[in-house]
Amino acid sequence: MTARLIVVAEDPQFGRWLQHRIEASREETSVAVTDFATMAKQRPRPTRRDGDLLIPVLSFKAREADNSPGIDWLRRLDIGQRILPVLVIAEDGNELSAVECLRLGAADYLPRAFISPERLLAAIQYCLRSPAGFTSAVPESNGKPTSPGLPRDLIPRYELLQKLGESSRATVYLAHSAALGRKVALKVSRTMDEEPSNFAHEYAAIGALSHPAVVDIYDYGVHDGREFIAMEYFPCGDLRARLQNPISEAQSLHYLKRIASALTVVHQAGILHRDLKPPNIMLRENGQIVLIDFGLAKDLVNRTHSTAAGVLRGSPYYMSPEQAQGVELDERSDLYSLGVIFYEMLVGSRPYLGATAIEVLRQHVDESVPLLSPELSHHQAVIDGLMAKAPEDRYPSAQDLLRALALAA
């Protein structure tokens, strides 16, 4: 049976993006896109005869102390039994607007700044509450949505709800911890007789840090030949998902400063991340960023956990020239990776691309520092100070980067 969705948006380009993402990800789904004026004329209070889910893109920028267009619109809609379920996509929202939307009857609330195709589809699935929903069917289990096909007893004390991602060495699940009474991200290794997962090292590295800018770790252990780590779950997703929508200059600078502040904490604790990239930078609704995945982290003081000669770990797109060449690293290698991320946020694409990983690594080593377009050229000094080929030509530390940004403001 076809699911009928109605998107209401003043920005037609964003409305079409939503339509494309939804229809491309789920067969037997139709999405109608309209604006608020047209909806007010044709169907001011759409009922279940008109569709299955209403998705308005609402502004929550307050006109007065306690008033915003989005809240006004929801109040006038007067969500009730006959009105379609409502999934709010929020512009300029915060925790208070989210609470007020849910109080007024919205089924779910997504900040536009943190939206991703995966998160959008998961929210739609939740709102539809149908066995024929999006991605995999999600029946209810003790009030918690679960996905079929997941192993029931993979790790004791954890109920698997959804697969979030996987690599050659591990799978990450959204899980519910009965002991903690909350959802967690549960990272489970392949069997122990394969390549080591470095989970114990990651647990030790993060355990040495206690800071809001570093992911919280709740549990570590081994069960049935598999290592696992239970850690903080971030419903807002990561910077990779955020990059699927354009990021303004102001937002790019905001994220740059936040990531640099987090790196300051990590480096001052004597730890080098070595795998800084958008999927390892998580986002909170309050704008705070959190670093995750310290499986490749290195002790800068004792020089422990060095990668074996001839073995490269990390993403080639964000790897410093010295890491690509397998030489000794310090915190300036993380700063190079941050420079690549800053460039990507400003431009919308990575600075070095190639048909193979080797080609990308060669460009990191041999190609010139990428030049920004004329309209972005006032950020070139920061890019140069982060992405210089020689570590001694970069900012000495994340703190020095933050000082330079403060002086330039």
Catalytic one among 275, 293, 393, 400? 275
Task: pLDDT band for 6, please (50, 70, 90 cuts).
Answer: very high
Range of the domain at 332: 239-408
Same domain, 361 and 337: yes
> Quick one: 260 exposed, middle or buried, by C-beta within 10 A (0-12, 13-18, 19+)?
buried
Q: How confident is the model at residue 295 (pLDDT cuts 50, 70, 90)?
A: low
What is residue 195's predicted lDDT score, i.e. its pLDDT? 52
How much is the average pLDDT of 235-254? 87
Whether residues 40 and 167 share a domain: the answer is no
* H/E element, 89: strand 87-91
Q: What percent of the chain has pLDDT over 90?
A: 33
Task: Give the H or E element holding residue 108.
Answer: strand 108-111
* Of the candidate ranges 185-194, 207-216, 272-281, the one whose mean pLDDT is the lowest: 185-194
Please confirm, yes or no, whether 384 is among the known catalytic residues: no
User: Of the candidates 178, 208, 231, which is a domain's last residue?
Assistant: 231
Among 78, 97, 128, which residue terminates a domain?
Answer: 128
The answer on 192 and 168 residing in a single domain is: yes
Between CA 223 and CA 244 the distance in angstroms is 37
Let me know whether 215 and 259 are in one domain: no
The pLDDT tens digits for 315-359 are 789 999 999 988 889 999 999 999 999 999 999 999 999 888 889
To 5 degrees, how large is the angle CA 351–CA 353–CA 359? 120
- The answer to whether residues 27 and 115 belong to one domain is yes
Q: Are 114 and 184 in the same domain?
A: no
| Sheet of strand 3-8, all strands in order from the earlier edge strand to the far edge | 29-34, 3-8, 53-59, 87-91, 108-111
Cα–Cα distance, 409 to 403 (Å, whole number): 10
- Here the tokens at position 84 are 């379609």
- Are 50 and 21 in a shared domain? yes
Please state, in angstroms and rounded to a whole number, the distance separating the CA atoms of residues 75 and 109. 15
Q: Which CATH number belongs to the domain containing residue 81 in this structure?
A: 3.40.50.2300
Domain count, the chain: 3
Give 386 or 234, the one with higher predicted confidence.
386
Give the number of residues written for the chain. 409
* CATH code of the domain containing 189: 3.30.200.20
Reduce the DSSP state of residue 130 to 3 states and report it: coil
Kindly state whether residue 285 falls inside one of the protein's structural domains: yes
Integer angstrom CA distances of residue 131 from 107, 123, 126, 381:
17, 14, 10, 54
pLDDT for residue 58: 93
| Domain boundary, last residue among 178, 203, 231 | 231
Would you say residue 141 lies in a domain? no
